[in-house]
A = this chain, B = another copy of it.
Amino acid sequence: MFNKVLVANRGEIAVRIIRACRELGLQTVAVYSDVDRQALHVRYADEAYHIGPSPSRDSYLRGDKIIECAKKSGAGAIHPGYGFLAERADFAQACLDEGIVFIGPKPSSIAAMGDKAVARATVSRAGVPVVPGTEGEGALSDEELLASAASIGFPLLIKATAGGGGKGMREVHNLEEMPFLLKAARREAEAAFGDGNVYLEKMVDGARHIEFQILADAHGNVIHLGERECSLQRRHQKLLEETPSPFVADDQELRQKMGDVAVKAAQAVGYVNAGTIEFLVDKDKNFYFLEMNTRLQVEHPVTEMVTGVDIVKEQIRIARGRQLRYSQEDINQKGWAIECRINAEDPYNHFMPSTGIISHILTPTGPGVRVDTGVYSGFEVTPFYDSLISKLIVWGETRAEAILRMRRALEEYRILGVRTNIPFHQRLMDSHRFMAGQFDTKFIEERFSLETAEEGLPDRAPIAAVMSTLVAHRQTQLSAQFIQRNERDTSNWKWISRWERMQR
């Protein structure tokens, strides 16, 4: 069996996987693009190979180069993380062809679930309920899609066939705007996945996005690790995840029913390794299969916090051919976990991505707090990759304790040099609807804004006034001193040594 793993990813998830390997006594191999020479995954790995220029299509999407690195370094397995090559059946197949273990499902499962349309047809045949939409082969033309739209009804969603994570997704409210939106979605899908195909799906109103974590070994054992509530999204990007879901809450019957269906969906494609079944759930607790993510999820840590199962280690064990160490009865949800995705983006300016060198980080620590990150003080956030720089995860005995803990952790977190969405999460933690667990997938976009969330909070404008005035005052005084010095100082060379001393 393999004892060296190549991690075909970057950022926090590459670090996460390297940690799991190290804790299993496995050697690790990192790959990196031009700008990632100093990235944390390169620093932490035992070996590191450069695979190309910064754009991901020239580096992290270059399966050929990555396989070459695996062969050169003698890595017996490749972990793809999420994104990039994680859900590319051809890459998984290429690994197998080279005798390299792909830490993930079989290529056939990826293919079956990767094409959303095929996925829906497959699970539908297995008796799993799906959301109405275009269930064809996925390669429909604009004309065909426009024709189907009326029968599905508006509002509906355009989604990338090869996609995930909200990329290439558009919401359509009427037929008139649909041609333009189709074009935009195809363009984005093409750029992100190299595949411009899209499909249509009915929008379920007031819907919750709830997903189930699956583990399946090569010996036919399939279990689920309970649900995750992922309804808090912006532009179809998840921002906060928690488990248990406050909507499912004490309804063990619903949990069991959905879990059983999730296991069934995984079995329908002969699934092996970790995966996630996403459902839309309406107010009346009807649930529909949305898609299966045939990989590790960004939000896997919340499940780890309440079940005690290390999902990445379990993935590696499964890939080594081991039996699952848990049966369904061993899995209990203890307490409550919440994850906030910390993105380098400006919540006060339309969540525009923010780049730059991180000059300072103060990490929240202490009881019940976990941080998964790929950045450090001195690291440069570049425009080449997505804006997720850290995941802040907390555990509490109850949801209330978890929320209070998240509040204090967010308040402690300092990241300087780039803007982050930490203030957004802080306001969200104060929101009464969030505290009550009353939200759906539209909540953030339609019923939440930083401005309104700030109403009714203690106004610290007087303090802000004092602080800005004192900083401005010091600056004025400092420049006055510099002018005086210039006037006094006759030797320029003295100046230099003074600068040198100051900088030491």
Task: Write the residues of chain A forming the contact surface with B, with a CB cutoff of 8 angstroms.
Answer: 15-16, 19-20, 22-25, 44, 301, 304, 308, 310, 334-335, 360-363, 365-373, 376-378, 397, 401, 404-405, 407-408, 411-412, 492-493, 495-496, 499-500, 503
Contact (Cβ within 8 A) B308 A366: no
**A409 nearest in chain B by CB position:** B19
A364 nearest CB neighbor, chain B only: B19
Inter-chain contact B401/A23, CB cutoff 8 Å? yes
> Which B residues lie within 8 Å of A411 (CB)?
22
- Contact, CB under 8 Å: B301 / A25: no
Q: What residues of chain B lie closer than 8 Å to A361, measured between beta carbons?
A: 377
Which listed residue, B16, B304, B367, B500, touches A304 by the CB 8 Å rule?
A: B367
Contact A405 B365 (CB under 8 A): no
Which residues from B are CB-within-8-Å of A404? Answer: 22-25
CB distance from A45 to the nearest CB of B (A): 12
Q: Are A367 and B370 closer than 8 Å at their CB atoms?
A: yes
Chain B contacts for A503, CB-based, 8 A: 499, 503
Given contacts A22-B408, A366-B15, A401-B23, A492 and B499 within 8 Å (CB-CB): no
The docked-state distance in angstroms from the alpha carbon of A22 to that of B410 is 12
Q: Are A367 and B408 in contact (CB under 8 A)?
A: no
How many Å lie between the Cα of A496 and that of B367 in the bound state?
Answer: 48
Contact among B22, B370, B397, B412 for A365, CB-based, below 8 A: B370
Query: For residue A334, which residues in chain B have a CB less than 8 angstroms away from its CB?
Result: 308
Say which residue of B16, B25, B376 sits within 8 Å of A366 (CB atoms). B16
Closest to A335 in B: B308
Least CB distance from A41 to B in Å reads 12
A23 to B, closest residue via Cβ? B404
Q: How far is the CB of A36 from chain B (nearest CB, A)?
A: 17
A22 neighbours in B (Cβ, 8 Å): 404, 407-408, 411
Beta-carbon contact of B360 and A377 below 8 Å: yes
Residues in B neighbouring A15, C-beta threshold 8 A: 366
- By beta carbon, the residue of chain B nearest A19 is B366
- List 9 tightest A-B contacts by C-beta distance, closest first: A492-B492, A365-B371, A22-B408, A499-B499, A23-B404, A363-B363, A19-B366, A23-B405, A362-B376
Which of B25, B308, B372 contacts A397, CB < 8 Å?
Answer: B308
- Contact between A367 and B19 (Cβ–Cβ < 8 Å)? yes
Which B residue's beta carbon lies closest to that of A325? Answer: B397
CB distance from A141 to the nearest CB of B (A): 47
Q: Which of A20, A304, A367, A500 has the most CB of B within 10 A?
A: A367
Shortest distance between the CB of A333 and any CB in chain B (Å): 13
Contacts of A301 in B (CB 8 A): 367
Residue of A22, A362, A365, A373 with highest tally of chain B CB at under 10 A: A365
The complex places the Cα of A162 from the Cα of B401 at a distance, in Å, of 38
CB-CB < 8 A to A405: which residues of B?
Answer: 23
Measured between C-beta atoms, what is the minimum distance from A171 to chain B in Å? 36
Please name the residue on chain B nearest to A362 by beta carbon: B376
Please, which residue of chain B has its CB at the minimum distance from the CB of A44?
B412
Closest to A393 in B: B367
- What's the Cα separation between A365 and B25 when bound, in Å? 18
- Contact indicator B362/A366 (Cβ below 8 Å): no
Q: List 20 A-B contacts (CB under 8 A).
A: A16-B367, A20-B367, A23-B405, A44-B412, A310-B368, A362-B377, A363-B365, A365-B370, A365-B373, A366-B370, A366-B371, A367-B370, A369-B370, A377-B377, A492-B492, A492-B493, A496-B499, A499-B499, A499-B500, A503-B503
Given A308-B335, A492-B495; 9 other pairs, CB 8 A cutoff: A16-B367, A20-B367, A22-B407, A23-B401, A310-B397, A363-B365, A366-B372, A495-B496, A496-B496
Nearest chain B CB to A39 CB, angstrom units: 13
* Chain B residues whose CB sits within 8 angstroms of the CB of A495 once the complex forms: 492, 496
Q: Which residues of B contact A24 (CB under 8 A)?
A: 404
Give Cα A378–Cα B360 distance, bound, in whole angstroms.
9
Name the distance in Å between A91's Cβ and chain B's nearest Cβ: 26
Q: Name A404's closest neighbour in chain B (CB-CB).
A: B23
> CB-CB < 8 A to A412: which residues of B?
44
Give bound CA distance, A54 to B503, whole Å: 27
Select A19's contact among B16, B44, B377, B408, beta carbons within 8 Å: B408
A305 to chain B: closest residue by CB: B367
Q: Please give, as numbers and ranges, the residues of chain B lying within 8 Å of A304 by CB-CB distance.
A: 367
Chain B residues with CB under 8 Å of A23's CB are 401, 404-405, 408
Give the docked Cα–Cα distance between A334 and B306 (Å): 13
Residues of B within 8 A of A408 (CB): 19, 22-23
